[in-house]
Amino acid sequence: MKAHWLKTIVTTAVVLLGLSTAQKLTFWHYWDGANGQVLQGLIERYQKEHPGVTIEAVFVPGGELLTKLQTAITARQTPTMAISDLVAMPLLTRSGALAPLDDYIRQSNLNLTDYFPGPLVYGLYQGKRYSLPVSASNLGLFWNKNLFRAAGLDPNRPPRNWDELLRFAKQVKEKTGKWGLELFTQGGEGTTWQTQVYFWGAGAEFLNANNTAPAFNSPQGVRALQFLVDLVQKEKVAPVAPWGLFGRGEAAMVMDGSWMTQFFPQQVSFELGAAPFPFAPGGRPATNMGGEQIFIFQSADAATAKAAWDFINWFSSTPVQVEWDRGTGFLPVRRSVANDPAYRAWVSNARPLMRPFVDSMAFAKPRPPVARYPQISDIFAKYVQEALLGRLSPKEALERAAQEVAPLLR
Amino acid sequence: MLKPLKGLLTHLLLAGGAFLSAMPFLWMLTTALKPEIALYQPPLLFPVHLEWENFVKAWQAAPFPRFFLNSAVMTVGIVLAQTLFSAMAGYAFARMRFAGRDLLFFGVLGTMMIPFPVTLIPSFLVVNALGWIDTYNALIIPRAVSAFAIFLFRQFFLSLPRELEEAALIDGAGRLTIFFRIVLPLSTPVMAASAIFSFLFAWNDFLWPLIVTNSTEMRTVQVGLAMFQGQYGVFWTLLSAAATIVTLPAVLAFLAAQRQFIAGITSTGLKE
């Protein structure tokens, strides 16, 4: 009899305790399709391993997530946590709505030196860290092996520097009549982020070290833009044309994203190669980088915020990130993931085209984390177009762009 | 001899125009029926592939039945409310005399010049304060009246012969009776035009439904379509398949109301 009572009391106590620690977390994200399903699978497992924690993942289409976050911040109706495209992080950190993560990172002994330096640049604001990278993508070279073969080039030998890039492109043009290289010439961020790869590869910087003035109008910058203009105007191996030539087999080489290692093989009818993007002789290997960052909102009470951090900490751990990157095809944000034997084996067997992109993470550079980056990017792209069309000399185009960009950084 | 030639030319011209209007739909349909490998092939106007699988995949990629229900409830609600309230407001502006009437009317017209993003956050704050987030209220009530429809109705009512209403007035009818028994039955062309405009607006609306809903159960078809435009490239074949399904109600609605629609736009019918 007594034991029975005791059992009831203990059970009730356990249930009550469970209720008092029950945490409901809302999580806004834009991971669609298969990526969303991988996330849902991970969340379900986390919930099973952590009874009392429920995570409600809310999908918001990518283009509108920032609008929805900004509306929620203004109305003080924020979720517990969310992700964002890293480009939007400067706007979000400045909103004052995010919770600093430094104390959590210290308490959990999360080793930030294991992260690639590029993605970590985002989320830092006035000496505090507000977000952590959870996925990455970057740019590299794809080439059409069939066209290389037709041009008499070794189909398994990609260009390693700009001299080879130009030489191969010319040979393709001469022997096959197809374009050597496709550039993204339609303006906007698409043009800017591809052009930045050439600039960095020539040793130029986009903005100065503390992001207070443009730096792309340096001699190295002029040299990089001159190279692009020559490809179009002088050598005529790359056209100013709508995007998509490479996919149709009309151009032999293209700079495109790591995500295309997943899509190209289903979309094109030729043999593909992928390599880190060539850089200028005497320059340095460089590429551009995208990805997502995760963060907690300040509106969460201490216990909820802690529960959200526990999930982020688990999600960021090497084994979970290995699983996440394998499921989604995102690039690793941590070296321990990139070097993980199971991950490396998966890349070699399932996604061999992705290998150069994984290797490029070590030198992937962040776009400057400034709030007005979108406007700056538009101005820069506009003048790159002017130069490519031969309306302005590279030097003049970059000087004018710098004049327009400077006031936006003050 | 000359007449048949002229007729032939007219019809050729019309056929060209019809072809231009139909082309985007044909393009959508042929893309929807392409296998993904053929994506980079030049666009064709008639389907050579018949990848019906795309429709199945697209339909299963998101809870579309629920999205259709939500879009239908929202659209019917908005169309009914906009037609009724805008007709009433348009009637007041056309027929009733009160202080500041024209100023108020220009104020209503002026709201059409305020871009939606400007009012987005204030509107959201109001809806949030009312506790309507994730409800049909939030989807319908803030859009229950339309400045454009008010304008449309007012212009139409101005062209109605006043004598009809005066006769009814002499027979002892009140304002509401006149409005519902005399004016509205004479206004089917403009009601159809206004309804089709609000139908297209509501059915195609994307940003507002997305901002005021959080759960999948409250999302609309346009939000479903956005799922195929991923952060890393667009699934064109699936997007086109889903877009074909989603566009179908709008096309059917237009075809059904076509005659009234054109009559309403040109506002022929009844003139003083």
User: Closest by alpha carbon to A325, among A310, A347, A353, A296?
Assistant: A347
User: Cβ atoms within 10 A of the Cβ of B140, count?
Assistant: 21
Q: Which residues of B touch A243 (CB under 8 A)?
A: none
pLDDT beyond 80 at A223: yes
> What is the ipTM metric for this complex?
0.73
How close does chain B come to A36, measured CA to CA in Å? 10
The more confidently predicted of residues B47 and B111 is B111
Domain that holds residue B224: 50-266
For residue A246, give the chain B residue with the closest CA.
B40
The pLDDT-based confidence of A48 (bands split at 50, 70, 90) is very high
Reading the block at residue B155, the tokens are 């212009």
pLDDT beyond 70 at A13: no
pLDDT at residue A66, rounded to an integer: 92
Considering only CB atoms, A61 lies closest to which of B124, B215, B223, namely B223
Tokens 């959200």 correspond to what residue? A308
User: Cβ atoms within 10 A of the Cβ of B182, count?
Assistant: 17
What is the per-residue pLDDT across A366-383, written as a single tens digit (0 to 9) for each? 999 999 999 999 999 999
Q: Is A62 within 8 Å of B230 when comparing Cβ atoms?
A: yes
pLDDT beyond 80 at B2: no
Cα–Cα distance measured from residue A51 to residue A21, given in angstroms and rounded to the nearest whole number: 9
Query: Does residue B19 fall inside a structural domain?
Result: no
Cα–Cα distance measured from residue B215 to residue A213, given in angstroms and rounded to the nearest whole number: 43
Tokens 């200028």 correspond to what residue? A280
The pLDDT-based confidence of B261 (bands split at 50, 70, 90) is low
Cα–Cα distance measured from residue B17 to residue B14, given in angstroms and rounded to the nearest whole number: 5
Using a CB cutoff of 8 Å and minimum separation of 24, what contacts does B87-90 make? B87/B149, B87/B153, B87/B184, B87/B187, B87/B191, B87/B194, B88/B179, B89/B145, B89/B150, B89/B153, B89/B154, B90/B149, B90/B150, B90/B151, B90/B152, B90/B153, B90/B154, B90/B156, B90/B157
What is the per-residue pLDDT across A309-358, written as a single tens digit (0 to 9) for each? 999 999 999 999 999 999 999 999 999 999 999 999 999 999 999 999 99
User: Cβ atoms within 10 A of the Cβ of A331, count?
Assistant: 27
Q: Which residues of A touch B121 (CB under 8 A)?
A: 70-71, 74-75
Query: Does residue B5 fall inside a structural domain?
Result: no
Q: Is A75 within 8 Å of B128 when comparing Cβ atoms?
A: yes
Tokens 């956050």 correspond to what residue? B121
pLDDT at residue B26, rounded to an integer: 86
Q: How many domains does the structure of chain B reveal? A: 1
Query: Does residue B115 fall inside a structural domain?
Result: yes
Q: Which residues of B touch A71 (CB under 8 A)?
A: 120-121, 124, 211
Q: Which residues of B touch A68 (CB under 8 A)?
A: 210-211
Query: Does residue B153 fall inside a structural domain?
Result: yes
Q: Which residues of B touch A259 (CB under 8 A)?
A: 232-233
For residue B133, give the chain A residue with the closest CA.
A77
User: Closest by alpha carbon to A158, among A353, A294, A342?
Assistant: A353
Q: Is B39 within 8 Å of A247 when comparing Cβ atoms?
A: yes
Query: Does residue B25 fall inside a structural domain?
Result: no
Under 8 Å CB pairs connecting chains A and B tally to 73
For residue A243, give the chain B residue with the closest CA.
B40
- Name the B residues in 210-229 with CB < 8 Å from any A CB: 210-211, 214-216, 223, 226-229
Q: Is B231 within 8 Å of A85 when comparing Cβ atoms?
A: yes
Bin A109: left if φ > 0, else alpha if -120 < ψ < 50, else beta.
Answer: left
Interface test with A, best of B130, B207, B231 (most A CBs within 10 A): B231
pLDDT beyond 60 at A222: yes
pLDDT at residue A314, rounded to an integer: 97
What is the per-residue pLDDT across A144-167, written as a single tens digit (0 to 9) for each? 999 999 999 999 999 999 999 999
pLDDT beyond 90 at A45: yes
Cα–Cα distance measured from residue A32 to residue A255, given in angstroms and rounded to the nearest whole number: 24
pLDDT at residue A102, rounded to an integer: 96
Alpha-helical (H) ranges within B33-145 are 53-60, 64-95, 101-111, 116-129, 136-140
The more confidently predicted of residues B270 and A193 is A193
Query: Does residue B78 fall inside a structural domain?
Result: yes
For residue A79, give the chain B residue with the closest CA.
B214
pLDDT at residue B270, rounded to an integer: 44
pLDDT at residue B272, rounded to an integer: 39
For residue A60, give the chain B residue with the closest CA.
B210
Interface test with A, best of B212, B232, B234, B238 (most A CBs within 10 A): B232
Domains by residue range for chain A, with CATH: 22-136+290-355 (3.40.190.10), 138-289+366-409 (3.40.190.10)
From A169-183, A289-303, B107-121, the region with the lowest mean pLDDT: B107-121
Query: Does residue B183 fall inside a structural domain?
Result: yes
pLDDT beyond 80 at B47: no
For residue A329, give the chain B residue with the closest CA.
B232
Q: Is B61 within 8 Å of A33 when comparing Cβ atoms?
A: yes
Q: Is B233 within 8 Å of A77 when comparing Cβ atoms?
A: no
Instruction: For residue B160, give the CATH number of its domain.
Output: 1.10.3720.10
Give the list of residues 6+ apart from residue B66 with CB closer than 8 angstroms, or none: B216, B217, B219
Confidence (pTM): 0.83
Q: Which residues of A touch B39 (CB under 8 A)?
A: 247, 267
pLDDT beyond 80 at A72: yes
Most confident residue range from A1-15, A286-300, B152-166: A286-300
Q: Do the beta carbons of residue A205 and residue A296 sit within 8 Å? A: no
Reading the block at residue B224, the tokens are 């479903």
Q: Beta-strand (E) ranges in B197-244? A: 229-230, 233-234
- Name the B residues in 136-175 with CB < 8 Å from any A CB: none
pLDDT at residue B22, rounded to an integer: 87
Considering only CB atoms, A269 lies closest to which of B37, B133, B215, namely B37
Please give the average per-residue pLDDT across B93-114, as a whole number: 93
User: Closest by alpha carbon to B154, among B98, B114, B112, B109?
Assistant: B109
The more confidently predicted of residues A89 and B231 is A89
pLDDT beyond 50 at B162: yes
User: Closest by alpha carbon to A133, among A141, A124, A144, A143?
Assistant: A124
The pLDDT-based confidence of B269 (bands split at 50, 70, 90) is very low
What is the per-residue pLDDT across A241-290, written as a single tens digit (0 to 9) for each? 999 999 999 999 999 999 999 889 988 889 999 999 999 999 999 999 99
Query: Does residue B123 fall inside a structural domain?
Result: yes
